[in-house]
Amino acid sequence: MLKEIIRREQVSDDHLPKTLHPIIRQIYARRGVTNETQLELTALHLCAVDSLKGLPEACALLHIALKEQKNITVIGDFDADGATSTALMMEALKMLGSNNQHFLVPNRFKYGYGLTPEIVEIAASQGAQVLVTVDNGISCIAGVNRAKALGLEVVVTDHHLPGNTVPAADAIVNPNQVGCNFASKALAGVGVAFYFMLALRKYLREQAWFEQQNISEPNIAQLLDLVALGTVADVVSLDANNRILVEQGLKRIRAGATRPGIQALIEVAGKNQQKLAASDFGFALGPRINAAGRLDDMAFGINCLLAKDLSTARVMAADLDDLNKTRREIEQGMQEEAEQVLKSLQFSEDNLPHGISLFHADWHQGVIGIVAGRLKEKYHRPSIVFARANDENDNSSEDSSHDSNEIKGSARSIPGLHIRDLLEHIDSQHPGIILKFGGHAMAAGLSIHADKFQEFSALFEQYAQQWLSVEALTGVLASDGSLLTQDMTLDFAELLRAAGPWGQNFPEPLFDDTFTLVQQRIVGEKHLKLVVEKDQKVFDAIAFNVDIKRWPDHQAKQVKLAYRLDINEFRGKQSLQLMVEQLD
């Protein structure tokens, strides 16, 4: 589905430094940068840690746990944010003097998401005394209740939106909980964990802990490489605070001050560590970590991040790379099947539903979120893809806690429809349809009974139609306009890269123009390699995952591209390349 290209309006950029390249100055102003300070991505400008609600209680509890060397068990999540959060908490607790810290990540297929009663039982059987959740917990009412019944202490750290009821934990640290005055509501789970550990270090300093234990006060900034990776991989909004966290993490990585696990992931992804960009977290490193949680056990990904030497990390990173290749193969097959289903329903671009919901008994639960995202991108509709919660692909045992009739859905939305709010509305208006749900504006997860799928699908379409405006249904690409050929250079591409980090809600600059087609050919099955010309200057370009029924089109003499300036590295040489977002 071709999107309408809309050029961003020219805005005043007089408030920004004249030393900036004029195009970059305008790009910043269009993205809401209101003063020069917001461009100073230093730790001095981070939001104050003291404003996070729940930190005093959480720090006091962990101080006692450290003093008594209690078994602290970190309960993680099975995505890249959860993996980096878990690794950060494990590293920080050790740096702060714990000798009894452990982690436990629920198997996606057997136990599902978060601090469930079943996971609490496992943690308790392994000797846990204090549970600390990362990137989950705010919706785990039953799990926290079970932990308290067993005499465990519970600290919840999360960033997901809370429901009407919050768990009865001993402490909750979440910028999105009611009454929290923390300025940035966009922290990822790993960002919340980082702030918690900063606060705990300060609390321990005030208690003279480090002198008492005869240990050096640690530099928590050493963990910013994990924060940067998890923040970008979780696709949270890159507000000013998150941009600082990401930029500081990137600087450490580029300077070689990163852990062996991240270095090994960079190597196996074929990236240049000294020139790593924020987008590499989302498209190269994050998917390899996520593959462990999608297909196997996220403990593989966490242990890679915790590896103490490069040789061990390289072996783990290679295994994660293999899992990611398998994930891509499964995803490709599921995506093709999903598109066949849509064709069989005789949908066209003029006749698309307002919300797409699909279920197939043989689909793999681990990659339904990616497929939902692909459908959302292709058709510009909120999409939910369901798979059985417990099937032959799950590697689950017979004692799985899942109802055999339960199916799990992963939802991805478009601007203009808050998917978690829509699910909450369905749940409140039609009790019993949804078993459980949670998430954000743009992504959510839910469980329903398989025999309720048709009913749910009809309700999803009904409310999506009511909630989506005509404007929201029209996909658009926001362009920063055309570039003069004198600015289409390797030097300017370097300036753009350095002007980042770019990401969610602080998008990388996109340009558009009409070019003369010089060459076009398919590479790698369905990627289109192009040579295009403008003002007697030629440029290499590449468009990924094109419709091979339409391209290459040797009748076409011109092509309209929406593109990003990119730097291609091959055998140590750099060249300018246009990364095509859309061609017509």
The secondary structure of 497-562 as a DSSP string is HHT---BTTBPPP-EEEEEEEEEEEEETTTEEEEEEEETTEEEEEEESS--TTT-S-TT-SEEEEE
Helix (H, G, I), strand (E, B) or coil at 120: helix
- Number of C-beta neighbours around residue 67 at 10 A: 14
Q: Given CA atoms 132, 138, 143, 145 in this order, what sign does their dihedral have?
A: positive
* Alpha-carbon distances, residue 428 vs 291, 298, 396, 437 (angstroms): 34, 33, 32, 12
- Phi, psi at residue 542, to the nearest 5°? -145, 135
**Contacting residues for 268 by C-beta, under 8 A, at least 6 apart:** 288, 314, 317, 318, 320, 321
CA distance 57 to 556: 66
- Cα separation, 69 vs 94, in Å, equals 11
In 10 A of CB 391, how many CB atoms?
A: 17
Question: What pLDDT is attached to residue 244?
Answer: 97
The DSSP H or E segment spanning 102 is strand 101-104
DSSP single-letter state for residue 20: S
* 8-state DSSP, 217: P
Residue type, 219: N
Quick one: pLDDT at residue 38?
Answer: 93
DSSP secondary structure string for all residues of 273-309: GGG--HHHIIIIIHHHHHHHHHHS-THHHHHHHH-SS
- Digit-by-digit pLDDT tens for the chain (584 residues) are 788 899 999 999 999 999 999 999 999 999 999 999 999 999 999 999 999 999 999 999 999 999 999 999 999 988 899 999 999 999 999 999 999 999 999 876 677 678 999 999 999 999 999 999 999 999 899 999 999 999 999 999 999 889 889 999 999 999 999 999 999 999 999 999 999 999 999 999 999 999 999 999 999 999 999 999 999 999 899 999 999 999 999 999 999 999 999 999 999 999 999 999 999 999 999 999 988 887 878 899 999 999 999 999 999 999 999 999 998 888 888 888 887 887 777 666 667 899 999 999 889 888 898 889 888 988 899 999 999 986 433 333 333 345 578 999 999 999 888 998 999 999 989 999 999 888 778 888 899 999 999 999 999 999 999 999 887 888 889 999 999 999 999 999 999 999 999 998 899 999 999 999 999 999 987 899 999 999 999 999 999 988 888 899 999 999 999 999 999 888 778 999 999 999 98
What is the sign, positive or negative, of the torsion defined by CA atoms of 77, 83, 84, 85?
A: positive
Residues 133, 82 contacting (CB under 8 angstroms): no
Give which of 173, 177, 124, 122 is closest to 148, Cα–Cα.
124
CA 144/CA 117 separation, integer angstroms: 8
117, amino acid identity: P
> Residue 384 has what pLDDT?
96
Separation CA 202–CA 191 (nearest Å): 17
CA 138 to CA 121: how far, in whole Å? 19
Instruction: Tell me which H or E stretch contains 203.
Output: helix 189-206
Q: Which residue from 186, 176, 199 is spatially nearest to 81, judged by alpha carbons?
A: 186
Host H or E run for residue 420: helix 419-429
DSSP 452: G
Q: Where do the domains of the chain lie, and which CATH numbers do they carry?
A: 47-258 (3.90.1640.30), 345-476 (3.10.310.30), 480-583 (2.40.50.460)
Beta strand segments in 234-388, E: 356-359, 383-388
Contact 398, 110 (CB under 8 A): no
- 460 sits in which H/E element: helix 453-467
